[in-house]
Amino acid sequence: MGGLLVLLSALVALGAMFSLYQSGENEALAAEVMERQKTINGALQLSKFNNQLIRALAGVAAQTNDVQIRTMLAEQGITFEINAPQQSEEEVSSDDDS
């Protein structure tokens, strides 16, 4: 009977040590996940800034007909078209009269 209690005590002690080990592993994994999430969040913020920068560059290139900016954007796979300015109602009326 005494040997059985010692065996059960040893199993309980092993179970407790395993539980502590797993707890430490879980904390390490949680810390790694948090670091990755920070990286993802930072990338999302940079992505928003990147989109704004691209739009601004494309706008400047379109307004000033800047070939160098247009070429630089095209080299990065970014293309755009310049829409013809819309005519006012007066311009449309005068075009119809001709």
Residue closest to 82 by CA, chosen among 61, 56, 67: 61
Contact 71/80 with Cβ under 8 angstroms? no
pLDDT at residue number 89: 65
CB-CB contact of 67 with 51 (8 Å): no
Evaluate whether residue 7 is within a structural domain: no
- Which region among 11-20, 53-62, 77-86 has the lowest average model confidence (pLDDT)? 77-86
Q: What is the pLDDT of residues 36-65, one digit of tens each?
A: 999 999 999 999 999 999 999 999 999 999
What's the pTM value of the predicted model, to 2 decimals? 0.52
Q: How many domains does the chain have?
A: 1
Domain that holds residue 74: 19-83
Would you say residue 37 lies in a domain? yes
Looking at residue 86, its pLDDT comes to: 74
CA nearest neighbour of 53 among 79, 73, 74? 73
Q: What is the pLDDT of residue 81?
A: 84
**Do the domain assignments include residue 13?**
no
Average pLDDT estimate for 70-88: 85
Question: Does 92 have pLDDT greater than 70?
Answer: no
